[in-house]
């Protein structure tokens, strides 16, 4: 006997309200990213719970972006201080549209230290946790050949584990894998980073720890967005020399896309790229 649509909806809502977290070691997720919520904050600000991370606002921010029908949420790095008193999984309860959440665990202090980048992703109402492989290059220094070797290692050994369905995660200064040639004023793919991205990758998620002030960083993001890709970058506020305006850039197919901040009561910056 077929149940009524109302009964089916009731059961579905009940299931969503009580998701489960898989305890299995999960393979690389295959996400479908279409509408990205981007979140930043001033990392010097201590919230009401006494911590300088997103934990005090994590759940409410996710609900705001769920109401906006985002399928993916990207937090600026140095996101969550791991501890027993805060379990990010609890914040996933009741989400209907958000299917993946990306953030970084870190140790706070005079010098913050990133620990690992995590992806919570949902399939059939079972949430899974995936740790992005490290081994990238926060800064690309050395001779031309040394830079080339670093990027080649990154594309062979690290990047395959960062390709998550139709998106790839390029963390912070790894976007320097496409060098800027000052003599001609252009960015090139000398090291093969852009060529290494499969055609099916249409979204580049680029969490950045601090605002990168050099003018060529925008040019590199623009270059990576060519051939009909999106490049979504978000960084923290609070650096002594900080950017004006929103703490993010969004490019699509070589063109910068304006993303306005969403008014909220959480003391963070929220935008939507889609």
* Confidence check: pLDDT of 5 > 50: no
Q: Which residues pair with 167 in a beta bridge?
A: 164, 203
Q: Which domain holds residue 110?
A: 24-273
- Mean pLDDT across the stretch 27-36? 96
Continuous segment of H or E residues that includes residue 272? strand 269-273
Any idea what the CATH number is for the domain that residue 229 is in? 3.60.110
Number of domains in the chain: 1
Q: Is residue 259 part of a domain?
A: yes
Q: Is residue 16 part of a domain?
A: no
Q: Is the pTM of this model over 0.75?
A: yes
Q: Is residue 6 part of a domain?
A: no
Q: Is residue 101 part of a domain?
A: yes
* Confidence check: pLDDT of 243 > 70: no
Each residue of 110-124: b (16+ CB within 10 Å) or e? eebebeebbbbbbee
- Residue whose structure tokens are 């805060």: 86
* Confidence check: pLDDT of 3 > 70: no
The CA–CA distances, whole Å, from 243 to 92, 216, 231 equal 32, 15, 19
Q: Is residue 260 part of a domain?
A: yes
Residues 30 and 34: their CA atoms lie apart, in Å, by 13
Q: Is residue 230 part of a domain?
A: yes
- Mean pLDDT across the stretch 100-128? 95
* Confidence check: pLDDT of 256 > 70: yes
Q: Is residue 5 part of a domain?
A: no
Neighbours of 3 (CB within 10 A): 10
* Confidence check: pLDDT of 44 > 70: yes
Q: Is residue 145 part of a domain?
A: yes
What pLDDT is recorded for position 1?
Answer: 34
- Mean pLDDT across the stretch 164-191? 95
Categorise residue 160: left if φ over 0, alpha if ψ from -120 to 50, beta otherwise: alpha
The CA–CA distances, whole Å, from 109 to 81, 85, 114 equal 11, 19, 11
- Mean pLDDT across the stretch 3-16? 40
């Amino acid at each position: 006997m077929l149940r009524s649509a109302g009964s089916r909806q009731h059961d579905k809502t009940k299931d969503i309200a009580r998701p489960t977290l898989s305890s299995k070691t999960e393979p690389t997720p295959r996400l479908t990213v279409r509408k990205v919520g981007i979140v930043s904050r001033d990392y010097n600000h201590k919230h009401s719970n006494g911590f300088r991370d997103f934990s005090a606002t994590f759940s409410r921010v996710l609900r705001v972006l769920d109401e906006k029908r985002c399928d993916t949420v990207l937090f600026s790095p140095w996101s969550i201080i791991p501890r027993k008193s805060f379990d990010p999984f609890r914040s996933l309860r009741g989400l209907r549209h958000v299917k993946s959440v990306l953030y970084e665990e870190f140790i706070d202090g005079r010098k913050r230290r990133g620990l690992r980048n995590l992806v919570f992703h949902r399939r059939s109402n079972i949430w899974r946790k995936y740790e992005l492989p490290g081994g990238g290059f926060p800064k690309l220094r050395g001779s031309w050949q040394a830079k080339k070797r670093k990027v080649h290692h990154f594309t062979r050994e690290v990047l395959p584990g960062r390709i998550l369905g139709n998106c790839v995660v390029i963390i912070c200064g790894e976007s320097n894998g496409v060098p800027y040639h000052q003599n001609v004023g252009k960015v090139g793919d000398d090291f093969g980073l852009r060529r290494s991205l499969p055609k099916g990758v249409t979204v580049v998620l680029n969490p950045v720890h601090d605002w990168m002030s050099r003018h060529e960083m925008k040019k590199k993001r623009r270059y990576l967005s060519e051939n009909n890709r999106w490049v979504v970058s978000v960084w923290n506020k609070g650096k002594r020399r900080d950017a004006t305006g929103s703490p993010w850039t969004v490019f699509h197919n070589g063109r910068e896309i304006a993303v306005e901040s969403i008014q909220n009561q959480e003391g963070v910056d929220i935008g939507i790229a889609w």
